[in-house]
Amino acid sequence: MNVAPTMKAAPRFAASLAATVLGLGIAASPALAAPSGPPIRIGSTLSLTGPLSGTAIIHRIAGEIYVEQLNKKDGLLGRPVEWIVKDDQSKPDLTRTLYEQLITVDKVDLVIGPYATPNIVSAMGVAQRYNKMLVHHTMGIPSLAKYEMQFPAWSVGANPETTVPNTVLDALATLPRPPKTIAIVTSKFPSVYLMSKGAQEVAKKRGLAEVLFLEWEFGNRDYGPIANRVKDAKPEFVWVGAIGLEGNQLLDAMKKIDYLPPLHFYMYPAPGPLAKLPEASNALAASIFEQHPPFTNNPVAAEFVRLYNDRAAKAGLADNSVETQAAASYSTWQVLEAAITATKSLDDKAMSDWLKKNQVDTIQGRLRFDRTNNYGDDLMRVKQVQKGQWVTVWPKEWAAPGAKILGQ
Amino acid sequence: MTLPSATLLAQAVLSGVFIGALYGLLGLGLSLSWGMLRQINLAHFALAFLGAYLTHHLTSVAHWDPLATLLLIVPGFFAFGALLHWVFARFAITPFNSLLVTFGLTVIIESAIQWIWTADPRMLDSAYGHVKFKLGALYVPLPELLTLAFATTLSTATWAALRFTDLGRAMRAAAEDAPTAAAFGVDERRLSLLLSGVSAAFAGVAGLCLALSFTLAPSQVYAWIGVVFAAVMIGGLGNPLGPLVAGIVIGVSESLTMAITAPAWAPLVSFSLLIAVLLARAEKI
């Protein structure tokens, strides 16, 4: 399915609603037979235990919802779908072993990616060895994705270290007083560090004066001195290359010295905990999806949000909203389904060839895989904590109704 | 390179003292069990985090005052520590084997924490976290001050007890030469159970301090092992004041490194100090 590239994103998104609604109507038809025959077995690992398990469970829930939805309709190719998930314990070496096992011992029909960059890189090597297509959802360093049959469902584009900072600074440029100075403080976690170094370059090119650049090792315990140095530097904008709760810890340290940054951005925060922090008011972050219009104008997205909210709450997750992680995961399955349906096969090569030439409508937007390392457009948007909730504020066509970026 | 301001340096020193105090508090129980009972108790860190999670749970769910959670945690952990030592003595576990057994126990406790409270990171929001004092231009947050108070009080009290009380003298005698001490009527077995219980109780107190100031995640159990081991070894095994002093030296060095140069270099500090001390006084460790 090819689409004219001149169509703007939001109208194109709305245009896909008609096809989606039609599809839902067909799917709801009682005339549709339940899937039958031997199941199509799709294998993957997830970090069900270990330090990454807090986020991996999001992908587990999203995947389970998608497989259930498939099996309630006619499955894939008329056959039921079975998802085999093994626990990689957040370890890339174990991920490699388990993907070998999935392919050679369990003999799954297809594989799908695990969570997080290091594990995806491991899985990719195995997929390449066995010529298996690999659609994945959380690869943070596109330059490492060199395998020709891998496809990213997280639409960061081939050079997110340049495009994302530009998007953020574009948003800030709309403020009455855009920032002129920037402090960049960052974890050395690889995917985060890549973005922070990119932000450093972009800021320089756009004429912002860098008043501070600091790095800390992932797993750092003490954010006091870092908070002190940011306060001392008096930046107008702070780019925080934080992952997980690092942003919360830094803000907590800043609160202890009575400091709040005038404008602040967090790269990959734990979104629920950050939004709940009073000090995080007006904090910015990047996202491909938030559970408000216009994203939820898509009935498929709206249904997924409903199911996910319910399942995540039952699973005891601290934050049960759909955002980047869950949306990227759901999109991964959408890409896989599109490739299988279009080629009417489970042939990895045929599906890969199809994906390279076509685009897939997902809940985050239309994905394409025809640029460097099979990446397409950067669909990252900017969101902001307003009144304790994340709302998309940029680009304008994706902003929540009535929302605009707020400065201090 | 721009020189940091005097306020920044002073705040960094203060920050280092506070985190060093926590290193010392975490190291206190470990140093006592390692130096006096010849048990390298890796599970001490898991116990500290279990204490932290219990503090978080009792405060967030049952709305206890965080300090009041010690009424439950201290006696509970004391009992656990005594039981653990009883098992070690019953099966005559050697120091090396104690490392392996307690490593296994650490994994079990970490898994239990994850099973009960999930892997989601948590931060305790308590009234203490909103209180801070000003010392001139410097900020003194209450949770960190409490940590320093606990660390100083417990370390000093333990040192004084071991030095000046009959019980303490008996413990030191048993640790140095159990058969000879027994000949003088020292019940080494009971004293060992007592000391192991006290060490575990100290882990519970350290857990409270962790919960007040830090993010909790099951995987974080392992993040403290390296630096606290360094504090214990630099401070001297079995020396109650040693981990506190060494912890503060390490904490201040780390903080100043982060304030003046790159924060990413801070982890080098503790291990460089450890290597230097090991080279200088290896025979005394």
Which chain B residues touch A215 with a CB distance below 8 Å? 262-264
Domains of chain A, by residue range, sit at 9-15+25-155+294-377, 160-287+382-398
Does the beta-carbon distance from A51 to B119 stay under 8 Å? Answer: yes
CA separation for the pair B96, A284 (Å, rounded):
50
Task: Region of A381 please: left (phi>0), alpha (psi -120 to 50) or beta.
Answer: beta
| Residue of chain B with shortest Cα separation from A222 | B19
Residue B73 to chain A, least CA–CA distance (Å): 24
How many other C-beta atoms are found inside a 10 Å radius of the C-beta of residue B148? 23
Residue pair B240/B155 in contact by the 8 Å Cβ criterion: yes
Read off the pTM.
Answer: 0.85
Nearest CA in chain B to A48: B119
Burial class (CB in 10 A: 0-12, 13-18, 19+), B99: middle
What is the rounded distance in angstroms from the CA atom of residue A407 to the CA atom of residue A198? 23
Best B212, B258, B269, B270 member to test A by mutation, with max A CBs in 10 Å, is: B258
A54 chain-B contacts, CB cut-off 8 A: 118-121, 217
CA distance A233 to A237: 11
CB-nearest partner of A316 from B118, B219, B251: B118
Q: What is the CATH number of domain B6-284?
A: 1.10.3470
CA A175 to chain centre: 27
Bridge-based pairing of strands A209-216 and A237-244 is unpaired
In this complex, is the C-beta atom of A50 within 8 Å of any C-beta atom belonging to chain B? Answer: yes
Q: Residues of B near A (CB-CB distance < 8 A)? A: 4-5, 7-8, 11-12, 15, 18-19, 111, 114, 118-123, 129, 132, 139, 141, 214-215, 217, 219, 223-224, 251, 254-255, 258-259, 262-264, 266-267
Closest residue in A to B135 (Cα) is A257
Whether A9-15+25-155+294-377 and A160-287+382-398 share one fold: the answer is: yes
Q: Where are the domains of chain B?
A: 6-284
Quick check: A241 contacting B, CB < 8 Å? no
Per-residue pLDDT of chain B (285 residues; tens, 9 = 90+): 567 889 999 999 999 999 999 999 999 999 999 999 988 999 999 999 999 999 999 999 999 999 999 999 999 999 999 999 999 999 998 888 989 999 999 999 999 998 898 877 788 989 998 899 999 999 999 999 999 999 999 999 999 999 999 999 999 998 888 888 888 888 888 999 999 999 999 999 999 999 999 989 888 898 899 999 999 999 999 999 999 999 999 999 999 999 998 888 888 887 888 888 888 876 654
CATH fold for domain A160-287+382-398: Rossmann fold (3.40.50)
Percentage of chain A beyond pLDDT 70 is 92
- Indicate yes or no: CB of A217 within 8 angstroms of CB of B217: no
Pick the closest to residue B215 from B90, B117, B112, B285 (CA basis): B117
DSSP letter (8 states) at residue B155: H
The question of ipTM being above 0.85 is answered as: no
The conformation of residue B124, written as its DSSP 8-state character, comes to -
What six digits make up the tokens of B177? Answer: 């030469």
User: Does A215 lie at the interface with B, CB-CB under 8 angstroms?
Assistant: yes
A285-300, pLDDT tens digit by residue?
Answer: 999 999 999 999 999 9
Tell which residue, B36, B34, B23, B32, has the closest CA to residue B246: B23
- Model pLDDT for residues A31-61, shown as the tens digit of each residue: 456 888 999 999 999 998 877 888 899 999 9
For B139, the closest of A50, A57, A257 (CB atoms) is A257
> CA B250, CA B243: separation in Å to the nearest integer?
10
Q: Whole-angstrom Cα distance, residue A38 to residue A147?
A: 30
Q: List the single residue in A with minimal CA-CA distance to B221.
A: A51
Task: Specify the amino acid at residue A20.
Answer: T
Interface test with chain A among B57, B108, B215, by most A beta carbons within 10 Å: B215
Q: CATH says A9-15+25-155+294-377 is which class?
A: alpha beta
